[in-house]
Structure formats: C-alpha cells, structure tokens
Amino acid sequence: MAGMTELRKDKVEVQRERKVRIEELAIMESELQPYTPEESTNGHDSDGTEPEGQKRSVKASLKRKREEAEELAATLKRNKEYAKRLKSVDLKTQ
C-alpha cells in the first residue's frame, strides 16, 4: 500500500513540473511571436506543430463550408421542384 502512495506522490510531482514547464514554454513562445514572420500556409501546417485551437477552427471552417454547399444544393433542388410544380399547374389551368 505504501508503494502506491509513493507512486501517487511522484505522479503529482511530475504533473506539477509539467505544468510549470508548459507555462515557461508558453511565455517563451509569446516572447518569440513578434519576431516570427507569418507564413501563408492556407490553414495547414506542414510539420504538424499547429496549436490545437487552430486545428479546431480549421475543422469548423471546413464543416461550415460543407454545410453551406449542402444547403445551397438543397435550395437549388427545391427551386427546381417548385418550377416543375408551377409549370404543371400552369399546364392544367390552360
């Protein structure tokens, strides 16, 4: 039982150290940001070091574009069906 307690303490200590290191990296990155040139990569990062928030926004953007295209296709289909019905009504009334 004492072994598990030691493992838990070690785990907590590692997590604390990890949190401190991540904060240090974030500070260093924010200091480096003004000196880093912005490159146009069309929303894709070739080496995979893209922050998670940007990945989500790209995914959301692609999803939104796909949904807009689907909605446009559905609207066009409804318009065609309406035109056909209107034409059939016109033919019946004549």
Report domain extents, the chain: 1-34, 64-94
**31: pLDDT confidence band, cut at 50, 70 and 90?**
confident
Q: Which residue has the higher pLDDT, 26 or 2?
A: 26
pLDDT at residue 32 in the model: 82
Q: Please tell me which of 32-36, 50-54, 67-71, 89-93 the model is most confident about, judged by mean pLDDT.
A: 67-71
**49: pLDDT confidence band, cut at 50, 70 and 90?**
low
Please enumerate in sequence order all residues whose Cβ is within 8 A of that of 54, keeping only pairs 6 or more positions apart, or say none: 45
Query: How far apart are the C-alpha atoms of 9 and 3, rounded to whole Å?
Result: 10
Average pLDDT over the chain reads: 79
**18: pLDDT confidence band, cut at 50, 70 and 90?**
very high
Query: How far apart are the C-alpha atoms of 81 and 77, rounded to whole Å?
Result: 6
pLDDT at residue 80 in the model: 86
**79: pLDDT confidence band, cut at 50, 70 and 90?**
confident
pLDDT at residue 28 in the model: 87
